[in-house]
Amino acid sequence: MSSDEPTEPDRRARLKARTRLAIVDAAAALMAADGPDFSVDELAVRADVARRTVFNHFDSLDDVVAAVGARSFEAIVDALLQSEPDPGASLQDDAAGAVRRADLVGPMAALSRGFGLVQPDLATGAPTCVADTADVPPRAAMLLLRSLAELNDRFVDELLLRHPGRERLDADLAVAALLSDLVVLHRYWLAATAGATDAASRATWSALLDRLRPRTAPPSTPDSSTPDSSTPRPRPHGGS
C-alpha cells in the first residue's frame, strides 16, 4: 500500500464526517421548508441514511438542529481566521472584531426562518416576526443558545492561538459574553427587520453592532440615531 493512500481509520473518519454532514444538510433543508419540528424518520429519508444512523451521530433531534444553527454562525470564526492577529488587541476586542467583519445577515435570516421565528402573515403572506405579536417560543430560544454554544469551543481555540500565553478561562469569558450579546442583538435585529436580507436590514445590523462595547468601557448614552430608539423592543425569549 502506498504511504499516500488513506488508512482504514482514515476512511472510517471520512465516512463518518460525510454521513454527519449529510444529516446536517438534510436537517437544514427540512428546517427551511417546515421549521424545526421534523421527525427522525423524515430526517433519515432526506439524508438517505438508516434511522439508527442519525442517533449514531447525534443524541437527539435538538442536537441536529443546534448543529445546523452552529454552522450558520461559523462565519464568525472564519472572519477571525482571515484577519492578521493584533498582539496589542484584547481578547474581547479581537473576538468582537470577528463578529463585526462576519457576514451574518443571510445566515441569521435563514436560521430565524428555520427556527420558526419568522412566519408568513396569514392575510398577506408577508414575512412576520413572531416576537412582534407573541412570546418567542421557548424551544426556539433554547435552540439559538445551543447553536452558539456549539460554536464556543472552536471560537475559543482559535482565539487562544492568536493570543499565546492567555488563560483559557479569559478566552472563555470573552467569547461567552460576546455570544450572549449576539443573542440580544439578533432579537433586536429580527424585531426590526422580520429577517429580511435587504440593504435596510444590513444597515440595521451594522448599527446594532456599533453598540458592542468592551466590557471595561463605560456604557454609552443612546441617541435617536441608534436602533435602541428606532427599532421595536423585542420580547424576552421564552417569557412575557
At 37-52, the pLDDT tens digits run 899 999 999 999 999 9
Q: What is the model's pLDDT at position 204?
A: 96
Determine the number of helices (DSSP H) and then strands (DSSP E) in the chain. Answer: 11, 2
At 126-159, the pLDDT tens digits run 667 765 434 567 778 888 888 988 899 999 999 9
Question: What is the C-alpha radius of gyration for the chain, rounded to an integer number of angstroms?
Answer: 20
At 69-85, the pLDDT tens digits run 999 999 999 999 999 98
In angstroms, rounded to a whole number, what is the distance separating the alpha carbons of residues 138 and 119? 16
In angstroms, rounded to a whole number, what is the distance separating the alpha carbons of residues 77 and 61? 25
Around Cβ 132, how many Cβ atoms within 10 Å?
13
Contact 40, 51 (CB under 8 A): yes
> At the topology level of CATH, where does 8-58 sit?
Arc Repressor Mutant, subunit A (1.10.10)
Q: What is the model's pLDDT at position 219?
A: 40
- All 3 cell numbers of residue 187? 432579537
The ranges assigned to domains in the chain are 8-58, 70-230
Our CA angle for 190, 195, 200, nearest 5°, is: 90
DSSP code of 218? P
Residue 115 binned pLDDT confidence (cut-offs 50, 70, 90): confident
Contact 72, 102 (CB under 8 A): no
Strand residues in 111-234 grouped as ranges (E):
118-120, 127-129
In angstroms, rounded to a whole number, what is the distance separating the alpha carbons of residues 85 and 49? 42
Q: Which residues pair with 136 in a beta bridge?
A: 237
